Amino acid sequence: MSESKYPNSYTLAYLSGEEQIPVPKRRRKWNNYIEIKGARENNLKSIDVRFPLNVMTVVTGVSGSGKSSLVSEVLYQAVKRHCENLKDGTVQATSVGGDLNLIKLVEFVDQNPIGKSSRSNPVTYIKAYDEIRKLFADQPLAKQFHFSPAYFSFNVEGGRCEECKGDGFIRVEMQFMADVVLECDSCHGKRFRQDILDVEYRGKSISDVLDMTVEEAVEFFSQGKGSQEKKIAEKLRPLQETGLGYIKLGQSSSALSGGESQRVKLAYHLGEEKAQPTLFIFDEPTTGLHFHDIKTLLKAFDALIERGHTIVIIEHNLDVIKCADHVIDLGPESGDEGGRIVCAGTPEQIADCKESYTGQWLRKMGKTAR
């Protein structure tokens, strides 16, 4: 593609086949599993199914075949009840057992925003901001004026600009029209009082840091000498791992797309130090994602599995399905004509199954290891 007018276009690279999501060389083996027997929610026909642990399982099937019924209503609810030790309420299944005890937490990772407040942002969400505030409070000027870490927060009174309450902008409600957003007159969008902005770490104010991209900040802080700086860089790195290196530290959560919000949530889990074995559930995580983002998402899944977690995904995307260790194909059709397991196994085994629509597509598109 050397003659392309758009040498940096990921879309072109994928369309031309130059960049691809490869079929994994091997499928992970598994021994442990959660076993559901007699699942009957909605259209499910009293099915028995195993969800293997510490691998990636993809649940497939036509729309209305029963994927959400099985994964969101039965699996998620049952594991949640187990983890939270809830005694009341039941799920529509005869039994849920197997190695359930090996799972300590369950997370349903959706594309909903990560915080409602305009002041919540990716860096506060992954808890990296606490360390940044501490670092600023440790600078000589801050010590001289007794600015504690809280002074470098835009969530509480103290150091933030009170005119805009740390937003940096003022929202003006207009009758019959969309709100108008104006830069704050008092702080000029810098979100803090001037004496707080005067505190600098290696020539950067807290506002300058919030204006850095994740990429720039990782670079900047990893050049620092102390362990505190290293810690900040470490905390930010998961955002890079989930492909969010381009977002600004101070970017409001409400300005993130659904896919970005979902990856911030993933980054939070990737950054957890002593994470308990967790079951992560996703319902169509690739909705709205570009090929390149899908590749990054798959890498993040791998990283979670390496940390001992389990992934269950509902997905139509063949590039994700072909990367699964285990596929559970529901159907064969929708509604009452669905709700059964058509086939379960590796993508290669699904492709060998004549009755499976998913298998037919995997074969047709050459999406298997053979």
Ligand X SMILES: Nc1ncnc2c1ncn2[C@@H]1O[C@H](COP(=O)(O)OP(=O)(O)OP(=O)(O)O)[C@@H](O)[C@H]1O
Cα-Cα-Cα-Cα dihedral of 194, 199, 203, 205, to 10°? -50
Is residue 286 near Mg ion by the rule CB under 5 A?
no
Written as six digits, the tokens of 248 are: 């600004």
The C-alpha angle 322, 54, 237, rounded to 5 degrees, equals: 85
Considering only 57, 60, 65, 111, the residue that binds ligand X (CB under 6 A) is 65
187 binds Zn ion (CB under 5 A): yes
- 151 in Cβ contact with 196 (< 8 Å): yes
Q: With respect to ligand X, which residue has the nearer C-beta, 67 or 160?
A: 67
Q: Given the complex with ligand X, which of 18 and 355 has the nearer CB atom?
A: 355
> Cα(108)–Cα(118) distance, rounded to whole angstroms?
24
Task: Mark the segment that binds ligand X (CB under 6 A) among 62-70, 147-155, 233-241, 321-329.
Answer: 62-70
* Chosen residue from 54, 57, 60, 68 binding ligand X by CB under 6 A: 68
User: Any idea what the Cα angle at residue 162 is, between residues 160 and 168, rounded to 5°?
Assistant: 70
Q: Which of 54, 60, 68, 261 binds Mg ion (CB under 5 A)?
A: 68
Site string for Zn ion, 127-166 (x = CB under 5 A): ----------------------------------x-xx--
Q: Judging by beta carbons within 10 Å of its beta carbon (0-12, 13-18, 19+), is residue 65 exposed, middle or buried?
A: buried
> Nearest 5°: phi and psi at 280?
-100, 130
Contacts of ligand X in 266-285 (CB under 6 A): none
Q: Looking at beta carbons only, is 66 or 166 nearer to Zn ion?
A: 166
Shortest gap between Cβ of 283 and ligand X (angstroms)?
7
* Nearest residue (CB) to ligand X, 198 versus 336: 336
64 binds, among ligand X, Mg ion, Zn ion, none (CB under 5 to 8 A by kind): ligand X
3-class state of residue 262 by DSSP: helix
Q: What's the number of CA atoms in the CB half-sphere (13 Å) around residue 115?
A: 16
Nearer to ligand X, 64 or 159 (CB): 64
Q: How far is CA 232 from the centre of its chain?
A: 20
Q: Say if strands 326-331 and 56-60 run parallel, antiparallel, or are unpaired.
A: parallel
Site for ligand X in 20-59 (CB under 6 A): 42-43
Binding residues for Mg ion, rule: CB under 5 A, are 68
Interacting residue ranges for ligand X, rule: CB under 6 A: 42-43, 61, 63-69, 334-335
